[in-house]
Amino acid sequence: MARKLIFDRKEWDKLKNLCEKGYPKEVCGLLFGKVLNEQKVKVTKCEILENILDEKHSPRLKELLAAGVVTLPKERIFKGGSYEFLIDPKEHFSKIALAEKEGLEQVGLFHSHPDHPAKPSAIDASQPYLAGWSNLIVAVYQRQFKEACSWFREKEDSPFQPEEILVE
């Protein structure tokens, strides 16, 4: 039985809008809510994060690379954030702290795939931090929402399994 990712209608519409507005860049963010049980996760808040692979964030990315906080192969640095995302750890933890004050927990991540299907890419599959959370991928073609699929993997070396998305 597939896990279910359950969205409030307002947050679902907000998420789709954020991904459309961010096109042609990859939009990324966090999903907050509650784990209801092993098979159900309720999303009540979506928070966008800056994709620091976007050129406008190059000073921050250079700072994180120099400090050894993030590591990337040279060919993946400063590609403009069109086909990949990278989250600033400081912003990530700041959003978590704010959500926890509201009684929420991080239940997943989301990102868009501009002009590509809503399936995990090879880069997505190589990211160990995606394990243990819902991973929602939103396909946006020519600034229009096409589809969203959610994926879950228990461990870093486990394959992604599809999750059912419900909107209430």
Residue 152 is assigned to a structural domain of this protein: yes
- pLDDT, tens digit (0-9, with 9 covering 90-100), for 109-129: 999 999 999 999 888 888 777
pLDDT band at 6 (very low <50, low <70, confident <90, very high): very high
Q: How many CB atoms lie within 10 A of CB 50?
A: 18
pLDDT confidence of residue 141:
97
Residue 127 is assigned to a structural domain of this protein: yes
Taking residues 52-76, what's their average pLDDT? 73
- pLDDT, tens digit (0-9, with 9 covering 90-100), for 21-58: 999 988 999 999 999 999 999 999 999 998 887 766 67
Q: How many CB atoms lie within 10 A of CB 93?
A: 10
Give the number of C-alpha atoms closer than 13 A to the C-alpha of residue 157, restricted to the C-beta side: 0
Q: How many CB atoms lie within 10 A of CB 95?
A: 19
Given the DSSP bridges, would you call strands 105-114 and 28-37 parallel, antiparallel or unpaired? antiparallel
Residue 72 is assigned to a structural domain of this protein: yes
Q: State the CATH number of the domain containing residue 61.
A: 3.40.140.10
Q: Angle 12-123-42 (CA atoms, 0-180°, nearest 5)?
A: 25
pLDDT confidence of residue 62:
76
Distance (Å, rounded) from C-alpha 32 to C-alpha 133? 11
pLDDT confidence of residue 156:
86
Which 3 state secondary structure label does DSSP give 64?
helix
pTM: 0.87
- Tokens 């969203």 identify what position? 148
Count of domains forming the chain: 1
Residue 31 is assigned to a structural domain of this protein: no
pLDDT confidence of residue 118:
97
Find the domain containing 110 and state its range. Answer: 4-26+41-167
Contacts of 29 (CB under 8 A, 6+ apart): 15, 18, 46, 47, 48, 49, 109, 110, 111
